[in-house]
Each structure stands twice: as C-alpha cells, then as structure tokens.
Amino acid sequence: DVKVTQSSRYLVKRTGEKVFLECVQDMDHENMFWYRQDPGLGLRLIYFSYDVKMKEKGDIPEGYSVSREKKERFSLILESASTNQTSMYLCASSPPGGGTQYFGPGTRLTVL
Amino acid sequence: DQQVKQNSPSLSVQEGRISILNCDYTNSMFDYFLWYKKYPAEGPTFLISISSIKDKNEDGRFTVFLNKSAKHLSLHIVPSQPGDSAVYFCAASPYNQGGKLIFGQGTELSVKP
C-alpha cells in the first residue's frame, strides 16, 4: 500500500516567514510532485522531481523552491510567504514512466 | 490556457441514479487519462484510468469513456451512492513527459438520499 505523508495537516504562518513543507513516500518512487489546490482552479503543478537532486519547474513555480536530497523526501519551500500563497498544498509520487500518482493528505497553509 | 477542462463546477444526483461527469481536453499528445476523487481535507485518491488506445474502461460501478475525436472523456457512476459525494478531478498525461499530469478544475458531486 502506497503511503505518502506530509509533515503538517494545518499550518498558520505570517507574511514574510520562510515556510518548509515536507513530504515523504515509502514506495521507492522516482517521481515526486508538489501541487496547490484552489477553488475553481483545480490542482496546479508547482515543481516536480524525477530523481534525487533534480527538479523541474511546473506551471506556477514563482515564490517557491524545492529540495530533494533523498529519494523518499521532497520538500517545498516558500522563501518569503505571502497571503496569496494561502492554499491547500498536495504532494504526490509515482513510479518511473508515470501513470498513477499517489497523493498525501495535504497541508492547509494559511498566511496572515 | 486550460488544457483540461471540467465545465460543470457541480452536479447533484439522486441516490441510485447515474452520475455523469464530463471532461474536455485540447492537447492531442495526451496518451493517458485518470479520474481522482477528493473528500474535503484529504488528498485525492485514484479512481480509474484509461489509455488513449482504448475507448472504455470499467471497474465496478465506475466506467470511463474516451472519445478521442471529440477530445472528451466522461466518468459514469452507476448506481450513485451518498458516499460518492466528493470533488472529482480528471487528469491527463502528456506523452513522453515522464508522468506529469494536467488536472481539470474539478466537479463537486452531491448524491442525495
């Protein structure tokens, strides 16, 4: 059974703070993804990674960075949080070649 | 531009009847399509998928239909149950992009007893 965990379910931060969202998967998947979900906009891809230490920009990378030091862990970093980054953040993983992505439970981030 | 579109934000169906959720796409390079179900405050869970070489895939109460000429896919749920009430996302995978998915905006299904 694939398990993707995210470090926090709910997070409240202040404008300008640096925010770290952690994601860990236990299925030895090469591919990992970060999305944000907003009402009426669906899931939008922020960054993804096909292997350790590599990263690719998604559709909305501005204001975010990522880190993948180990295969099982993919971190999303908000360098200086802003109110328009208030959202649900979802992490996913998939085996090489793609196909089904498996999602974590999400982190509801509120930036005040 | 939105490459995957779900034009109905919401759908209400009576328990026991059929639910039909629709999805349109614009990119002919998509070769794999998926449907996900999402409850509030949870991550999306995979429901059913279809390859572009097929036009139908069935799994229990769920059937996905793909019409490549119309660039349209639909998810049928028969019979609908109150536990099916959730947001449904369709997603498409571009050929040779290593598993990247493009998601639609989602349709909120409400199944009333």
pLDDT digits (tens, 9 = 90+) for B69-83: 999 999 999 999 999
- 3-state SS class at A25: strand
* A50-90 per-position pLDDT tens digit: 999 889 999 999 999 999 999 999 999 999 999 999 999 99
Neighbour-count burial of B76, counting CB atoms closer than 10 A to its CB (0-12 exposed, 13-18 middle, 19+ buried): middle
* B30-60 per-position pLDDT tens digit: 989 999 999 988 899 999 999 999 999 999 9
Q: With an 8 Å Cβ cutoff, are B44 and A96 in contact?
A: no
From A101, A106, A108, residue closest to B101, measured CB to CB: A101
- Structural tokens at position B37: 């179900």
**For position A53, what pLDDT does the model report?**
86
CA distance A82 to A18: 10
Neighbour-count burial of B67, counting CB atoms closer than 10 A to its CB (0-12 exposed, 13-18 middle, 19+ buried): exposed
Virtual torsion, Cα B80, B82, B86, B88, nearest 10 deg: 0
From B43, B100, B106, residue closest to A103, measured CB to CB: B43
Q: With an 8 Å Cβ cutoff, are B44 and A90 in contact?
A: yes
> What is the percentage of chain A residues whose pLDDT exceeds 90?
84
**For position A97, what pLDDT does the model report?**
73
* B79-112 per-position pLDDT tens digit: 999 999 999 999 999 877 767 899 999 999 999 9
Q: pLDDT averaged over chain A?
A: 93
